[in-house]
Every structure is written in structure tokens, then in C-alpha cells.
Amino acid sequence: MDELRVIQVKEHVFASNARNADDVRERCHKQGLLLINLMSSPGAGKTTLLGATIDALHDEIAFGIIEADVDSAVDAHTIREHGAQAVQVHTGGMCHLDAGMCDQGLAELDCDSLDVAVIENVGNLICPAEFDTGASAKVMILSTPEGHDKPLKYPLMFQESDVVLVSKIDVAPYFDFDMEQFEHNVRLRNKDVPIIPVSAKTGEGMDVWYQWLRDRLSAWRS
């Protein structure tokens, strides 16, 4: 019997994507463009938050949005109604964007005229946290209807995030959401991450989010 051949895998399966992501990050840094990966489950309020942010900061920051979805262009049309550049990327059934897809999206934006580009990733609390898109900041949104236990169930998402936004706090009284317990659960995964409760509908907490965004952009360009 022939000797069994053992193949040694020398390269991590994500290595190619990691190299692409580093290239994207370097180009964005040279341009002074802050690229943000915005992640959440479906319906947490990513598009609503982006619309409110664009409206509030349009005199200060020029935004471009990469909308990632399995199908449709609903969110891209919504963003354009707020006056920002937007491009729709269909993932072909994949549950996340990778660096190559993000690069294609950036190529469709006039990046020289932008300050911030945001990837509105596919609604999912698992896959988007696993793939480096080339973004220099990772923002995740958890809505109060989802419950305060999610950091325990989806640890990587919270470990990877640079800021956690708790959305829809205007309806928190109608749901069994314990903010103190949520913060405790987040700290088990990421002890220093800022946690910002917000409501894009009422405006509560949004100024804190806007200032975080300003500070991050300033730090990226310094």
C-alpha cells in the first residue's frame, strides 16, 4: 500500500483576505479616509442610525456608504435620500463582506471627496465579526428588543468591536432589557469598549455617538 501523504497547511485560510484588508487599510489611511465596519443583527437600526448621522453631520463630514445585502437595493436608495453617496453590494448569498468585496464597493465611491466610508454589513452577529474588511474601526449595534444576553451568545462580535451602540432605547421599557446586566455581559468580553445607548428616533444619546465619530476621524488623520 502506498504511503499516506500528509499535507501541511502552511497558510491560514483567512491569510489572503488579511493581506487584502491590510492593503485597503493602508490606501484609506493615505487618503485620510476613515473606513468603518458597521455590524448588527437584521433590524437593529443600522440604516436608520446612518441616516440620522448623515443628516446631523453633513456640514462637517462627507459620508459614503457601502450597503451589503444578499439581495435588493432598498438601503442604498434610503441612504441616497439623505444626500450621501451609496453603493449596493450583493454578496451572492454570503453572510458577510470580505476585504475584496469592500474594495469593489470603495471603487464605486468618489473616495477623494469623502471623510468617512461606512460598510453597512449584512445583518448577522456571527460572520461579519470573523472577516477583516480593511476597516480601521468596528462599530456594532444591539437593539433593546434583542435582549441583554447577546454578548454571552455571540462573544466574538463584542470582542472585536471598538464601540457598542445600544439602539432603540426609546422602547426599552416595553422589553425585558436590563442595561446594567448588558454592560456587565459586554465587559466579560471587552472590558474597555465604550457603550453608548442611543435612539435615532428621539435623538437621545446621539450626540455622544457623533462625538465618538469625530474623535475617531481626528485620531485616524493625526
- C-alpha 44/C-alpha 169 separation (Å) is 11
pTM, to two decimals: 0.91
Cell numbers 448621522 label which residue? Answer: 53
pLDDT at 131 > cutoff 70: yes
- Whether 67 is covered by a domain: the verdict is yes
- Whether 162 is covered by a domain: the verdict is yes
- Whether 167 is covered by a domain: the verdict is yes
Angle between helices 46-57 and 74-81 (to 10 degrees): 20
| Mean predicted confidence (pLDDT) in 12-40 | 91
Domain boundaries, position 43: 15-221
- C-alpha 154/C-alpha 78 separation (Å) is 29
- Whether 78 is covered by a domain: the verdict is yes
- Whether 9 is covered by a domain: the verdict is no
- Whether 123 is covered by a domain: the verdict is yes
pLDDT in tens, 46-103: 999 999 999 999 999 999 999 987 667 788 899 999 999 999 888 766 677 889 899 9
pLDDT of residue 187: 97
- Whether 7 is covered by a domain: the verdict is no
Least confident window among 104-113, 123-132, 171-180, 191-200: 123-132
CATH number for 108: 3.40.50.300
pLDDT of residue 79: 94
Bridge partners for 164 per DSSP: 140, 195
pLDDT of residue 75: 86
- C-alpha 101/C-alpha 85 separation (Å) is 17
pLDDT of residue 144: 98
| Mean predicted confidence (pLDDT) in 187-202 | 97
pLDDT of residue 2: 64
Long-range contacts of 48-51 (CB under 8 A, 24+ apart): 48/200, 48/201, 49/141, 49/165, 49/167, 49/198, 49/200, 49/209, 50/79, 50/82, 50/118, 50/120, 51/78, 51/79, 51/81, 51/82, 51/200
pLDDT of residue 200: 97
- Phi/psi-derived region of residue 43, left when phi > 0, alpha when psi is between -120 and 50, beta in every other case: left
Q: How many domains does the chain have?
A: 1
pLDDT in tens, 166-190: 999 999 999 999 999 999 999 999 9
Q: Which grid cell sits at 68?
A: 451589503
pLDDT at 5 > cutoff 80: no
pLDDT of residue 218: 97
pLDDT of residue 93: 63
- Whether 10 is covered by a domain: the verdict is no
